[in-house]
Chain A
């Protein structure tokens, strides 16, 4: 991190804050480093400040406090067109009165790139987003997915160091979105430019990004790669925001140094012994915390399993979703859990209400959330 020559981040945000006069700042004292060539996602619920942060990088908003450095240069007060970044807007903002070709050429035209070179670069950009031969079409003569590619090509043709994408797939239908997700990732690998993506769609962030920053109320809650974000969330907010989770309030009952175990009293489940290595730091007895378990990590069995974490439960509800089923269970202690079971066999899991069964999971899958 201190090696400023080769490994210095392309975007360096320090203490960036932006107030709009709401209950909390739109962007609240954010520190963020984005590495060169990375596919970075800003993920959060609407109103979490992710778009404001993106617009601050683009230059459409200025931070009230803090600094933003792009490629080592402090960009405070620099207009959007003077920053080595380009943006793909949520509405694509394809100019409706210009042909596809003119749209892509616009950025080159206004920055006085010679006509001959302009033509060549636009043709290259068209080929890059697989729109060859559509240059003379007007925006209302192409599909939504194609308009999005025009917006991409128009930004990429300027050869930015960083491409900013503001909810680029939200206007597309579900099937097209999936295709575009893969296409965006392969495009990013091909051009090697840093992509910063803003999205409220966790699936989009998990499947596309190298690293994700989860934001809430103007703050960054966790920055990590998708697997870490999903498998090891550090806070209740992140665990609940990403995917489904069974969450239980818990209290540290005892710390057994000899056995290297911590005993939790979990609401609705009862006593649970976990290895010390599962918890960060050294929990004090009586400290309150939360335990979480993802629905797909829970195993079901008719007989009491040999696993150290196992509870008896009663089936309350059952929902069939085709590729998987969602089961709702109540433990003897009154804790409610949902369990996802993959329907890998033709006959789905048994669905008798009130049926007794056992649930179990591994130590490693138990999430201990401190916030």
Chain B
């Protein structure tokens, strides 16, 4: 009898193919090498990001003391939270409306909602810029109201993503659950709250997460809708990089990565906890 390791490879044992392993390795290298380099060089004790000269935290300190950068950071987070909240609510309502009610031109409405997903961002940015200047959107409001235009732009391109995720989840909803609740005397609101919402929870979390990350790192649309007083983190980084890529930018980017990772982990953890308790 042959040993287990020497056994001939069966067609479905992809993992044992050397060629595929190499492919996998290459993919990981191209995906993560730049990010690892970025993080590593944020600790580099050099003004220029070329040669490694020893470990330091001074660029984190420098970034912390860079008021413009911190302001952009706070702006980005504020916009992202507001956008997530509103986009999740609107996206969910849109998905439920399209799923629940047979109204005329439903397919057309469905397609219209998906439009912001496929439209090139640059077009969307120009359109937003033209729109806000055409209607004379005030640019001299106090913080955080001066972020209104950017937030609205972010909501409008991120809520379709929420709607798509929620739609997919709705497809697996057993309508008899809703009818059973109706039969037992629950009002429409109670049925939504007690029956539909718990079913949608994983999709709401996933959708919100999507909206948050989309908003946080959006550059193109934000670039067109931001003014001198409403700089967001990506826009600020871009303006800093135009002079030189300093470890300061690396440090700020690393922080952003950490924040995103932490929030994603929390969301996934919430989602998994929900799934463990009631699968399906």
Chain A residues packing against B (C-beta within 8 Å): 58-60, 79-81, 86-87, 89-91, 93, 95-97, 106-107, 110-111, 138-140, 151, 154-155, 158
Establish whether residues B174 and A93, one from each chain, have CB atoms under 8 Å apart when the complex forms. Answer: yes
In the complex, the chain B residue whose C-beta lies closest to that of A89 is: B176
Which residues from B are CB-within-8-Å of A95?
A: 177, 180-181, 194-195
Establish whether residues A97 and B180, one from each chain, have CB atoms under 8 Å apart when the complex forms. Answer: no
Establish whether residues B279 and A86, one from each chain, have CB atoms under 8 Å apart when the complex forms. Answer: no
Establish whether residues B183 and A81, one from each chain, have CB atoms under 8 Å apart when the complex forms. Answer: yes
Q: Which of A110, A138, A139, A154 contacts B190 (CB 8 A)?
A: A110
Interchain residue pairs with CB less than 8 A apart (29): A58-B183, A60-B182, A80-B179, A80-B182, A80-B183, A81-B183, A81-B185, A86-B183, A87-B183, A91-B174, A91-B176, A93-B174, A93-B179, A93-B180, A95-B177, A95-B195, A96-B199, A96-B278, A97-B198, A106-B194, A107-B185, A110-B181, A110-B185, A110-B186, A110-B187, A111-B185, A140-B278, A140-B280, A158-B185
**Separation of A111 and B186 alpha carbons in the complex (Å):** 7
Establish whether residues A154 and B184, one from each chain, have CB atoms under 8 Å apart when the complex forms. Answer: yes
Q: Which of B187, B195, B280 has the most CB of A within 10 A?
A: B195
Which residues from B are CB-within-8-Å of A155?
A: 183-184
Which residues from B are CB-within-8-Å of A93?
A: 174, 176-177, 179-180
Count of chain B residues near A, Cβ 8 A: 21
In the complex, the chain B residue whose C-beta lies closest to that of A58 is: B183
Establish whether residues A89 and B179, one from each chain, have CB atoms under 8 Å apart when the complex forms. Answer: yes
Establish whether residues A106 and B184, one from each chain, have CB atoms under 8 Å apart when the complex forms. Answer: yes
Which residues from A are CB-within-8-Å of B185?
A: 81, 107, 110-111, 158
| Shortest beta-carbon distance from A160 to chain B in Å | 9
Which residues from B are CB-within-8-Å of A96?
A: 177, 199, 278-280
| Shortest beta-carbon distance from A103 to chain B in Å | 9
Establish whether residues B180 and A87, one from each chain, have CB atoms under 8 Å apart when the complex forms. Answer: yes
Establish whether residues A97 and B278, one from each chain, have CB atoms under 8 Å apart when the complex forms. Answer: yes
Establish whether residues A60 and B179, one from each chain, have CB atoms under 8 Å apart when the complex forms. Answer: yes
Take A95-B195, A96-B280, A140-B279 as given contacts and tell me if A81 and B176 are in contact as well, using a CB distance cutoff of 8 Å. no
Chain B residues packing against A (C-beta within 8 Å): 174, 176-177, 179-187, 190, 194-195, 198-199, 277-280
Which residues from A are CB-within-8-Å of B199?
A: 96-97
In the complex, the chain B residue whose C-beta lies closest to that of A139 is: B278
Q: Which of A59, A81, A93, A111 has the most CB of B within 10 A?
A: A93
Establish whether residues B278 and A110, one from each chain, have CB atoms under 8 Å apart when the complex forms. Answer: no
Which residues from A are CB-within-8-Å of B190?
A: 110
| Shortest beta-carbon distance from B174 to chain A in Å | 6
Which residues from A are CB-within-8-Å of B179?
A: 60, 80, 87, 89, 93
**Separation of A90 and B279 alpha carbons in the complex (Å):** 20
Which residues from A are CB-within-8-Å of B177?
A: 93, 95-96
**Separation of A111 and B181 alpha carbons in the complex (Å):** 11
Query: Which 10 A-B residue pairings sit nearest by Cβ, starting from the closest?
Result: A107-B184, A93-B180, A93-B176, A81-B185, A97-B198, A89-B176, A110-B186, A96-B278, A111-B185, A80-B183
Having A80-B183, A81-B182, one finds 14 other A-B pairs with CB under 8 Å, namely: A59-B183, A79-B182, A80-B182, A81-B183, A86-B183, A89-B176, A89-B180, A96-B278, A97-B199, A139-B278, A140-B279, A154-B180, A155-B183, A158-B184
**Separation of A87 and B179 alpha carbons in the complex (Å):** 9
Q: Which of B174, B186, B277 contacts A138 (CB 8 A)?
A: B277
Which residues from A are CB-within-8-Å of B194?
A: 95, 106
| Shortest beta-carbon distance from B186 to chain A in Å | 4
**Separation of A170 and B215 alpha carbons in the complex (Å):** 49
**Separation of A138 and B280 alpha carbons in the complex (Å):** 13
| Shortest beta-carbon distance from A54 to chain B in Å | 12
**Separation of A27 and B190 alpha carbons in the complex (Å):** 32
Which residues from B are CB-within-8-Å of A86?
A: 183-184
**Separation of A87 and B185 alpha carbons in the complex (Å):** 12
Q: Which of A60, A81, A97 contacts B184 (CB 8 A)?
A: A81
**Separation of A226 and B277 alpha carbons in the complex (Å):** 45
| Shortest beta-carbon distance from B6 to chain A in Å | 42
**Separation of A86 and B183 alpha carbons in the complex (Å):** 6
**Separation of A99 and B55 alpha carbons in the complex (Å):** 55
In the complex, the chain B residue whose C-beta lies closest to that of A90 is: B176
In the complex, the chain A residue whose C-beta lies closest to that of B175 is: A93
| Shortest beta-carbon distance from B131 to chain A in Å | 42
| Shortest beta-carbon distance from B180 to chain A in Å | 4
| Shortest beta-carbon distance from A107 to chain B in Å | 3
**Separation of A151 and B194 alpha carbons in the complex (Å):** 17
Take A91-B174, A95-B177, A97-B198 as given contacts and tell me if A138 and B184 are in contact as well, using a CB distance cutoff of 8 Å. no
| Shortest beta-carbon distance from A162 to chain B in Å | 12
In the complex, the chain A residue whose C-beta lies closest to that of B279 is: A140
| Shortest beta-carbon distance from B270 to chain A in Å | 14
In the complex, the chain B residue whose C-beta lies closest to that of A160 is: B183
Which residues from B are CB-within-8-Å of A106?
A: 181, 184, 186, 194
Which residues from A are CB-within-8-Å of B187?
A: 110
Q: Which of B174, B180, B186, B187 has the most CB of A within 10 A?
A: B180
Which residues from B are CB-within-8-Å of A59?
A: 183
In the complex, the chain B residue whose C-beta lies closest to that of A102 is: B194
Which residues from A are CB-within-8-Å of B195?
A: 95
